[in-house]
Amino acid sequence: MDPRLLPLLSCPRHPTVTLTVEQVERVVNGAIVSGRLRCPVCATTYLIKDGILDMIGQHRPTSAAQVVNEVPVAAWAYERTWRPFALSLLSGEQFPLTRELKLITGLAGAERGGLMVDVGCSNGLYARALEHVRRQRGAGGFVVGIDLSMAMLQEAQRRARHEGLSISFIRASAQAMPFADGTVDALVMGGSLNEIGDIPAALSEWRRLLSPQGRGVMMSLVAASTPIGQGIQQLLASGGLQFPSLAELNHYFTAAGLRLRAQWQYGIVVFSVLQ
């Protein structure tokens, strides 16, 4: 974890309260590998282990999708098997990762830098793309990857280190992220809205965090229109996944106080730009 990020971290229970450093146990190449942070109000202690800040502690998965995400083999396989081909299969057209990542980083304004957060980051695909652009453009700031699954975060950490990238990873809920109001310059999410549970609470968190000039860029999946697609989604819904219609998705945005600036749909894949 980048120690320069510490002044920006707040307690999920008390978003206006900056966490204090209780102990730094190990530092490698300037990054905090292990240590403890503390909330001065509720006295909750948050551990940093292997460079990952854990804001959750003990947690019992609430859906089959969350159970699968906690399995190390699933985390290892996610970006090696499914993810490179996912959008081509779901959109019905050629949609390689290069196209997707260029779209996400461009819409998010990664060249501007600032605090950029990949919510529900899984293996950190979007986070790495943001950090590459930030470095190429010489912009200041930080990239943070947030996920509920420690297995996913550990794989994301390995991938970032392999590419020599400085990304801070935090285990936290999408409905309670550790930053103060209006401090995030870019929020991105790739498909995780469909499996995070309480969608309205997660989107309200986006509204809380986005700075006045901040941008939110989301790739999500909507309800299928074909009988086969509907049948598959009904089966996946039993495992905790949600597939709102496009109208329902946009209603969620409006209800959370988010302004929809642009939107594109490819099959069941939807990209939305929010402020």
Q: List pLDDT tens digits, range 192-232.
A: 999 998 999 999 999 999 999 999 999 999 999 999 999 99
Same domain, 192 and 67: yes
Same domain, 60 and 26: no
Q: Per the structure, how many domains does the chain have?
A: 2
Same domain, 127 and 48: no
Same domain, 49 and 59: no
Same domain, 43 and 167: no
What is the SS3 string spanning the chain?
A: CCHHHHHHEEECCEEEEECEEEEEEEEECCEEEEEEEECCCCCCEEEEECCEEECCCCCCCCCHHHHHHCCHHHHHHHHHHHHHHHHHHHHCCCCCHHHHHHHHHHHHCHHHCEEEEEECCCCCHHHHHHHHHHHHHCCCEEEEEEECCHHHHHHHHHHHHHCCCCCEEEECECCECCECCCCEEEEEEECHHHCCCCHHHHHHHHHHHEEEEEEEEEEEECCCCCHHHHHHHHHHHCCCCCCCCHHHHHHHHHHCCCCEEEEEEECCEEEEEEC
Same domain, 260 and 144: yes
CATH number of the structural domain spanning residue 154: 3.40.50.150
Same domain, 226 and 193: yes
pLDDT grade for 27, boundaries at 50, 70 and 90: very high
What average pLDDT does the chain have? Answer: 95
Expressed as residue numbers, the domain containing 34 is 1-53
| Portion of the chain with pLDDT greater than 70, in percent | 100
Same domain, 132 and 10: no
Same domain, 191 and 263: yes
According to the model, what pLDDT value does residue 66 have? 84
According to the model, what pLDDT value does residue 139 have? 97
| Portion of the chain with pLDDT greater than 90, in percent | 92
pLDDT grade for 37, boundaries at 50, 70 and 90: very high
Same domain, 213 and 168: yes
- Range name among 48-52, 64-68, 244-248 with the lowest pLDDT average: 64-68
pLDDT one-digit tens code per residue, 87-122: 999 999 999 999 999 999 999 999 999 999 999 999
According to the model, what pLDDT value does residue 269 have? 97
Same domain, 142 and 154: yes
Same domain, 17 and 151: no
